[in-house]
Amino acid sequence: MEIFELEFMRRALLAALLVGVAAPSIGVFLVQRRLALLGDGIGHVAFMGVAAGLFLGTSPVVTGIVAASLAGAVLEVLREKGRLAGDVALALIFYGGIAGGALLTFLSDKPNSVLGYLFGSVLTVTGQDLWILGVAGTVVLLSVTVLRKELFAACYDDEVARACGLPVRRLNFFMALAAALTVGVTMRVVGVLLVSAMLVLPVAIVQQLAGSFRATVRASLAVGGILSVGGVAAAFYLDTSPGATIVLLAIGVFALTALAARQRTGGLAGG
C-alpha cells in the first residue's frame, strides 16, 4: 500500500497510534470527574510553551510539555480551591496562554511553523518527536494502569477514598500532570485547539454502550487508536488536514453510537 511506503506516513501513523491510545487512558478519569475540558485549559498554556520553544530555538514539543505541566499543576490548585467552575481565573489562564503564545510567535523568526501546533501537523513528525511521543505515551499508559484501582476509587467518590486512607490530593495532582503530558504530545498530532477531543471523545463514544468501567477503559483505548490511525489514513487519501479529520471522524462515530444507544434504551436517554 502506498501509504506505508512513505517514511513520513509511517511516522505519522505510529504517532497517531501512540497518541490515540494514550489520550483516552487518562481522559476516562477526567470524564469521570467531570473535568472533560481540563485538557483545553492545559492546551492553551501549552501553546505558549510551544511558541517559547520556537522563539528560543529549542524543541517546541519539550517546552510545550513543560508549560502544560505547569498549567496542569496550577489548574489543579484552582480546582481544589473550588475556583475552576466559571471563574475568571480560568479565563485569565486560557487567554493569557494564547496571547502569550501569539506574542512569542510574532517575535520568533519562523512564525508560520506555529500553525502546525495550533491545528496539528502529524505529517511533519520527526524521529526525535516520535521518541518523545513514545516515552510520554508509555509513561502515561503504564502509570495509569498501575494506579487504576486507586484512581477509580478517588474519581468515583473522593470522600470515601479519603476515608480509605488514599492520598487523594496526590492522586489528583498525578492526574493533572498525566493529562498535561498527554496534552503536550497530543497537540503534535491534532493541534492545541483540538487536543481535548482526543482525551474525551473516545470515552464519550464508548460510555454510551459499555456496561462497566473496565470495559469502558479498554474499548476507549481501542477506539482512540483506531480513530486516530483511521483519521490520518483518511486524510492522506482525501488530502485533508489529519487533525481535523480525526476529530470529525470521532464526532461522526459519536453521533452513530448515540443513535444506537437511543434505540437500545427505547428512546430514553442512557444514564
Partner 1 sequence: MSVHTAGELAGATVYLGQAEVLSSLDVAFRAGEFVALLGPNGSGKSTLVRSLLGVIPVASGRVRLFGAPLDKFRGWGRIGYVPQRFGAVSGVPATVEEVVLSGRVSVAKRLRGYGSADRRAAARALQEVDLSDLGLRRVSHLSGGQQQRVLIARALVNEPDLLVLDEPLSNLDLDHQRDFAKTLEQMVRSGATVILVAHALGAVEKLVDRAVVLEQGRIVHDGPPSAEHQHDHAHHVPLQEPLGGTGADQHRIH
**Chain Cα centroid distance, residue 146:** 20
Under the binding rule (CB under 8 A), the answer on residue 212 touching partner 1 is yes
Whether residue 172 contacts residue 193, with contact meaning beta carbons closer than 8 Å, is answered with no
| Nearest approach, Cβ of residue 203 and partner 1 (Å) | 7
Residues 6+ apart with CB under 8 A from 165: none
The burial of 198, by beta-carbon neighbours within 10 Å (0-12 exposed, 13-18 middle, 19 or more buried), is given as: buried
- Stretch binding partner 1 (CB under 8 A), from 83-91, 100-108, 143-151, 185-193: 143-151
Count of alpha carbons within 13 angstroms of residue 252, beta-carbon side: 9
Binding partner 1 (rule: CB under 8 A), the pick from 103, 135, 160, 256 is: 160
Grid coordinates given for 49: 510553551
How many Cβ atoms from other residues are within 10 Å of residue 56's Cβ?
Answer: 12
The residue with cell 470527574 is 33
Determine if 146 is a binding residue for partner 1 (CB under 8 A).
yes
Per-residue mark of binding to partner 1, 28-47 (x: CB under 8 A): x--xxxx-------------
| Nearest to partner 1 of 115, 259 (CB atom) | 259
Q: Which of these ranges, 52-60, 114-122, 154-162, 175-183, lies near partner 1 under the rule CB under 8 A?
A: 154-162
Decide whether 148 or 248 has the Cβ nearer to partner 1.
148
- Residue 152 binding partner 1, by CB under 8 A: yes
Among 99, 164, 256, 260, binds partner 1 (CB under 8 A): 164
List % helix, strand, coil for the chain (3-state, nearest 5): 85, 0, 15
Q: How far is the CB of 148 from partner 1 (least distance, A)?
A: 7
Nearest residue (CB) to partner 1, 110 versus 214: 214
Query: Closest Cα partner for 4 from 191, 229, 248?
Result: 229
Is 142 a binding residue for partner 1 by CB under 8 A? The answer is: no
Interface residue list for partner 1 (CB under 8 A) = 28, 31-34, 146-150, 152-153, 155-166, 203-204, 207, 210-216, 271
